[in-house]
Amino acid sequence: MPLADWLRDATARLASVGDTPRLDAELIAAHALGLRREDMILALPSLHAPEAADTLLARRLAHEPIAYILGERDFWTLTLKVTPDVLVPRADSETLIDAAIKLFGHRAPPRRILDLGTGSGALLLAALDMWGEASGVGIDRSAAAIAVARENAARCGMADCATFRLGDWGAGLDERFDLILCNPPYIATSAMLPPDVARYEPASALFAGPDGLDDYRTLAGQLRGLLAPGGIAIFEIGFDQAASAGALFVAQGFSVKVARDLGGRARALLMSADDAIESHFGQA
């Protein structure tokens, strides 16, 4: 079948699966052909759909995330390996990096960075991409996730400055960090999720008890022992958790502010033990 015809058919079939059916169809076809999407589009009149495209299309029609089908996902300025052992990095999480850039634009750059629940390594590697003189540590409970993160550090040329370790949040760490990033599980166990997420992404990285706050409770008790003097912590939250999650850190004596994503939703808590964040972000 001519590829242009295949793309039209695939787009129509994918309309009920996601919000970007044409883009998904093009990404699947380019992956099956072993081409960059841009190069495929330029050569479209001369191309035919390979058999592998139908197999990949069937996976997407079953709601498998496109990132798992392609085996990679762009995040910040990086292209990262992604497997079902890790969450798919999302553009909303780039809010944490944007907030860090804003905060450290008026102070000395971070030298040591900690990423708790690192998964694919997305947050740590994005931060190290911004601050090339820094080094950092990523912690995760999953050995499979640590393997993915290490591979991503290597493919991004950061194996010498990014270390990944098995761990349970900050337990056992005897170092303090200038910048701590974290995208913990924050979904209530009773929440209904889209099939792309519920069927494929690791539940251990999604759910955090009846109210979605279980891991924040643990992290709030650990944070003071992990932050260097003048350090800043930036934790991702659900859109309706600014007050509830923020209160856990306020109770531990932290100054807490909120960063919003491009859609205007509360997306991250910014914490410090001093006034480092006072003039930049709104109240939690």
For the stretch 5-42, pLDDT in tens is 999 999 999 999 999 999 999 999 999 999 999 999 99
pLDDT single digits (tens) 48-91: 999 999 999 999 999 999 999 999 999 999 999 999 999 999 99
What average pLDDT does range 1-5 have in this prediction? 95
Q: 283 falls in which pLDDT band (50, 70, 90)?
A: very low
**Per-residue pLDDT averaged across 182-200, rounded?**
96
Of residues 5, 8, 56, the one with CA closest to residue 29: 56
User: Domain ranges in the chain?
Assistant: 3-62, 77-283
pLDDT tops 70 at residue 279: no
Note the pLDDT of residue 284.
Answer: 41
CA angle 231, 267, 165 (to 5 degrees): 55
Number of Cα atoms under 13 Å in the Cβ half of residue 140: 28
CA–CA distance, 158 with 150 (Å, rounded to integer) = 9
> In terms of DSSP bridges, do strands 266-272 and 255-260 run parallel, antiparallel, or are they unpaired?
antiparallel
Q: Over range 151-177, report the average pLDDT.
A: 97
Q: What is the pLDDT of residues 236-269, one digit of tens each?
A: 999 999 999 999 999 999 999 999 999 999 999 9
pLDDT at 275: 67
What CATH number does domain 3-62 carry, 1.10.8.10, 1.20.1250.20, 3.40.190.10, 3.65.10.10?
1.10.8.10
Mean of pLDDT over the chain: 95
Q: Quick one: pLDDT band at residue 281, thresholds 50, 70, 90?
A: very low
- The fold of 77-283 is Rossmann fold (3.40.50)
pLDDT reported for residue 107? 87
* Distance separating alpha carbons of residues 264 and 257, to the nearest angstrom: 15
